[in-house]
Amino acid sequence: MSRKLVSFDWAMKKILRQKANFVILEGFLTELLKFDVKIEEVLESEANQESEEDKFNRVDLLAKNENGQIILIEVQYSSEIDYFQRMLYGSSKLITEYISKGDSGYRNLKKIYSVNIVYFALGEGEDYVYYGKTEFRGLHKKDDILRPSKRQQDDFHINTISDIYPEYYILRVNQFNDIAKNSLDEWIYFLKNEEIKSDFKAKGLNEAKEILDIMKLDDKARAIYKRSEENKRYKASLLYTARLKGLKEGEKRGIEKGKKEGEKKKAIEIAKNLLVAKVDMKTIVNSTGLTIEEIKKL
């Protein structure tokens, strides 16, 4: 039977920033990005605090790998309609922050990987993992993808133009059906259920099983974790209640609007009949409640 583990977002705040535990992040990123990731350091990021007054419903972790590439991992729980825009803003901000101040050109721009783990229905689609990158395709020749020159490849150490631009990964965790068909699915199973099955073999999960075990936390850390989980559930309850209330208000307004439209339609029919009968304008206004302008349009 698998042991209950701490949630990945809490681990990102409290555990995975320690160099001894980089192996867990390295395993997850290697399975997702499909190349070996070695983390050199975890950088400062804006949403890594944990306190009683913590109002964030997200957490991020910023890491630099041994090749100097920047990897931003964000976990988001509550629905955010402009999340796609925030993904773009986050990667753009990192590009400007990490360009060399003494560099007059752009050759040393950092490669950015934006990894987004979301627990809400972001966009519309049938899959639970999405990947995006920048390519330049011919307008007249659709299969023609613009390539860097040989000199550009050598100077910038790239194979494609997309190697320069940010790459985006979206994991819609709640859309996963809990059937792990490959090593990345095993990681997504853990992200969704906070447990690791005994037969899982994905990189980093064996270490995660040991390091993230709730029962291995000291008493203080376990109390902080339980409080953070209670706060998360409480906030989710508030959001659900607000959404339900909004739906009921919308339904009520819809009924009222339909009723008014029905009454208006009935008044128009009466006005038409009175016009055919050559009844005077004042009588029609008093009988239907329509304005003179509305009656004239008939």
Q: Which tens digit of pLDDT belongs to each residue from 186-201? A: 999 999 998 999 899 9
How far is the first Cα of the chain from the last one, in angstroms, to the nearest whole number?
A: 75
Phi/psi at 158 (5° precision): -130, 160
CA diameter of the chain: 91
| Cβ atoms of 189 and 136 closer than 8 Å | no
pTM above 0.75, yes or no: no
Q: What is residue 110's DSSP assignment?
A: P
pLDDT in tens, 132-189: 999 999 999 989 999 999 999 999 999 999 999 999 999 999 999 999 999 999 999 9
Q: What is the mean pLDDT of the chain?
A: 82
- Give residue 182's pLDDT: 95
Nearest alpha carbon to residue 204 among 20, 33, 30: 30
Distance between CA atoms of residues 171 and 14, nearest Å: 22
pLDDT above 50: residue 52? no
Of 261 and 38, which is predicted with more confidence? 38
**Kind of pairing, strands 58-65 and 39-43?**
antiparallel
- The 10 Å CB-count burial string (b at 16+, else e) for 124-157 is eeeebeeeeeeeeeeeeeeeeeeebeeeeeeebe
- Give residue 53's pLDDT: 39
pLDDT in tens, 60-99: 889 999 988 999 999 988 788 899 999 999 999 998 888 7
Q: Is 128 left (phi over 0), alpha (psi -120 to 50) or beta?
A: alpha
For the chain, the domains span 8-216, 239-297
